[in-house]
Amino acid sequence: MDLQLSGRVAIVTGASKGIGLAIVRGLLDEGARVVAASRTSGPGLDALAGPSLVHVPVDLMDPEAPARVVERAVEAFGRLDVLVNNAGGPPPGATLPRLSFTGPTDDDWREMFEFNLFSVVRAVRAALPHLLESDAAAIVNVSSCNARQPPPMNVDYNAAKAALNNLTKALSEEYAPRGVRVNTVSPGPVRTDWWTKDGGAADVLAEQTGAGRDAVMDKVAPEMMNLSTGRLADPREVADVVALLASPRSASTTGADFAVDSGFAKAV
């Protein structure tokens, strides 16, 4: 299927690894020009270097950062058609999972919302004037299955993602009539650095359960979360859905939430 993304300009935040890197790769494969925003680049992003890719090193905890990314995109490519707000998860310096409501402090809550919600608000605010000039504009916000089915852990993260879903619906109601579609993609557990890095989720759960870190990712976590597929998702599986929603082929899809969660969410 031709997704009709050739020549279009997309911003992807949190682009240096995991889901973000897979999104960048997928959009480039479809012929899009991509501005990748992340604090650092990394070998995966460096390997994609070329005339259709610009990396902007920014920390989205900085309130001015989203506007700088948008400015650089328009400067480099002259337009903006797609905004993918992928950056999220633990704020810089934080480690999840947090296993109890009493774990996060007020500062933890503020930082979680700063990273997962307010940075998106600022990016959308900066991007909208340019997206409104596009003939097929799209915003895709990467949320989480925990926004709809929150477990009794990571309560600050889950609440921030629920707010992101609400924001997405509101933006769609206001701007879809003006040509800017807005949707969310909600991953479940995905085999990314969030799980695999030293001290990451696999190590935290390994300490809690007494299992090895590989066993946590291959068996313990899928069973604990009752994943229908029996495995964590691959980042490219999320990226493929993002690319479809960014595409003009999804012209009648807006205000929707697409789960890529290995069957985690059971409710109808």
Residues assigned a catalytic role:
157
- Residue 68: phi and psi, rounded to 5, are -65, -40
How far apart (Å, rounded) are the C-alpha atoms in residues 212 and 138? 42
CB neighbours of residue 121 within 10 Å: 16
Residue type present at position 197: K
Please report the DSSP string for 134-179 in residue order.
SSSEEEEEE--GGGTS--SS-HHHHHHHHHHHHHHHHHHHHHGGGT
How far apart (Å, rounded) are the C-alpha atoms in residues 132 and 138? 10
Q: Which single residue is written with the structure tokens 């890719």?
A: 53
User: 84 CB contacts (<8 Å, ≥6 apart)?
Assistant: 10, 11, 12, 13, 23, 139, 140, 142, 242, 246
Rg from Cα positions in the chain: 18
